[in-house]
Structure 1
């Protein structure tokens, strides 16, 4: 029994030592990196720990298997079998490294884009993963002594057929890339299309752009439609948003007094309502003689498009109550008819 176990004892001990070292290594190896990223990119700390705990023990275990096989009786196998085993271990290692790098790269891109207020999209994340996985695949093929030249030739010959078959998909893909690079439509922006669709941009994918309307419903629009449409971005060139509120008062009103009272109410809204810009001075302009009132518009200013509703709500409530106290009439729609006297 001991004679049979003797040749395997050393490889087994090496494998166990590598497994234990892999279990302990993340705490030792990742601590300096975690301290660095905690100061520079706080989000990266958790990602490094998560990726390290998952992949580093696996890498140490693979190393233990490689060394153990070199010292075990299996080294007497046919060289072809040894080569196949080495290739299998190498493929597993490259796949694990690619998965770890892709995960870290996606989170890093997301962190940098968030800090710079650029926003990240599933298209950008998927392209990052595709590039890293593609590099890993090329590395695997190179280590397996598989020439990629015939593969590239086959892809070149078949690219025309693929392009024709996936014409719409590729158009949406490149349109999505154009939208991201152009940066005139960003995540979180409120946009209006000439088709009538409008909402907040939630994601830009490889096929479509997702916007969320005011009813909290998702609208999926192909990227080519976005690229070709006339788009109004209400968050550019700046997020501040002007809110026009139109009112009318009786023809018998003192318009100077109406202007003073309305501006006082609007100034209170600017100071007190969340989302309004406190330092902005509201503007009032009379616009027309309406059928039953003298019409005017008062201009408020809010920090973002979504803040306009609360500011308008509060202004209408306050101006209605103040006009009532001041005796300023907001007339009902009415029309005066003059009937000619009968002869």
Structure 2
């Protein structure tokens, strides 16, 4: 539920007044009929007025309870995320279902157990006919309760899509990708995949890239050069300087990993492009050439395989995926 859909205070007071009037009609109809037996119209309509009053009170009470709960849950507090819309929709459905069952029990003079039994059979038949849609709905409820992501979060659904969450519905979840493509995914498929949320627990996270420099370049000088170049980037998070680590060391070259903070996921590519561009410019200015990536320690190569490896095109600077936060 959007904030502009939350019932206003005046609406809630009107609902409370309607409940009071409906209960007054329901409770006074039969006493007035007994007090004035000469009024045939009152004698005729006393029962229906009582049932209608209680029914109106039930539905107005359900609406009032939903409005009060929504105002309570959607009140934004610092450090608290918004309540999923699907939970509020589920609350509305439960409240109005209870009101409808109570009204049916009043009008048809039947016990609620009989009504529930009959409706249960109908729901069983319908559930079998639309079992795929039911699976999507229950998956949506599960995601609404667990809340692995919220509207506005950047997420990656394994093997399906990556984008910003636009809407979380009963059956489907809608994403907008970086290319402004609208992707609609069934909730049952999302619940069966691994979900990566780039916006939780906070918007910013740390990404990194790796590069290999010649072994004759001192580690301290290389680290300072890389850190100064990456630190000049304007797209990365302010106040969190990049870190440079040595990940591999050998006569063929020294591998470095530069870590930097991305403010939010939609700026990841811009941050990576600027960081790598600045590092490339700094290295070229100093006349330093990158070294081809070496095989990890412990993996031997014979002369033939080493010759093939040296002839292959390999990326000297390798952007890495986002780190676990």
Alignment TM-score > 0.5, same fold: yes
- Kindly indicate whether residue 92 of structure 2 is the aligned counterpart of residue 129 of structure 1: yes
What is the correspondence of 1:251-266 to structure 2 with a 5 Å cutoff? Answer: 254=217, 256=219, 257-266=221-230
Does the 8 Å contact 2:262/2:268 carry over to 1? yes
Distance 1:115 1:90, change over 3 A: farther
Contact 1:106 1:129 in 2 (8 A): no
Q: Which of residues 211, 217, 231 in structure 2 aligns to 1:267? A: 231
Residues 63-102 of structure 1: pairs in structure 2 closer than 5 A: 75-77=39-41, 79-102=43-66
Task: From the superposition, tell whether residues 74 and 328 of structure 1 become closer, same or farther in structure 2 (CA, over 3 Å).
Answer: farther
CA deviation string 1:119-140 (max 9, x = no partner): 3333212111011112222332
SS of residue matched to 2:75: helix
Indicate which of 184, 196, 199 corresponds to 1:232.
Answer: 196
Select between 255-264 and 126-135 the one with higher mean Cα deviation.
Answer: 255-264
1:192-211 CA distances to partner (integer Å, 9 max, x unpaired)?
A: 23324111234332211222
How big is each residue's C-alpha offset from its partner over 1:153-178, in whole Å with a ceiling of 9 and x where there is no partner? Answer: 21233343222112111111222222
Equivalent residue, structure 2, for 1:302: 262
Q: Secondary structure at the match of 2:74?
A: helix
Asked if structure 2 preserves the Cα contact closer than 8 Å seen for 1:283 and 1:300, the reply is no
* Greater helix content: 1
Query: Which is bigger in relative contact order (C-alpha 8 A, separation at least 6)?
Result: 2
Query: Residue 77 of structure 1: SS of its match in structure 2?
Result: helix
Of 220-229 and 151-160, deviating more is 151-160
- Counterpart Cα distance in 1 of 2:158 and 2:289: 39
RMSD: 4.3
Please tell me whether the aligned partners of residues 283 and 289 of structure 2 are also in contact (alpha carbons under 8 angstroms): yes
Separation (CA, whole Å) in 2 of partners of 1:147 and 1:67: 21
**In structure 1, C-alpha distance between the alignment counterparts of 2:188 and 2:156, rounded to whole Å:** 16
| TM-score of the pair, normalised by structure 2 | 0.67
Whether the aligned pair in 2 keeps the contact of 1:275 and 1:304 (CA below 8 Å) is no
* 2:237 matches 1:276: yes
Displacement of 1:313 after TM fit? 4.2
Q: Distance in 1 between matches of 2:208 and 2:57?
A: 62
User: CA–CA distance in 2 between the matches of 1:237 and 1:191?
Assistant: 12
Tell me, what secondary structure is at the counterpart of 1:117?
Answer: coil
CA offsets per residue over residues 57-109 of structure 1, 9 Å max, x none?
54566578789985999954252322223333332333222222222223323
Where do 5+ consecutive residues of structure 1 fail to align? Answer: 1-42, 337-343
For 2:27 and 2:94, locate their aligned partners in 1 and report how far apart those are by CA, in whole Å: 32
Determine the structure 2 residue equivalent to 1:222. Answer: 186
Alignment correspondent of 1:192: 156
Cα distance, 1:280 vs. partner?
Answer: 4.4
Decide whether the 8 Å contact of 2:163 with 2:175 is kept in 1.
Answer: yes
**Structure 1 residues 134, 279: closer, same or farther in 2, change over 3 A?**
same
Gapped regions of structure 2 (runs ≥ 5): 292-309, 312-325
Which entry has the higher C-alpha Rg, 1 or 2? 1
Whole-Å separation in 1 of the counterparts to 2:283 and 2:228: 11
Following TM superposition, by how much is the alpha carbon of 1:225 offset from its aligned partner in structure 2, in angstroms? 0.7
Q: Which residue of 2 aligns with 1:141?
A: 104
Would you say 1:105 and 2:69 are equivalent positions?
yes
Other-structure match for 1:201: 165
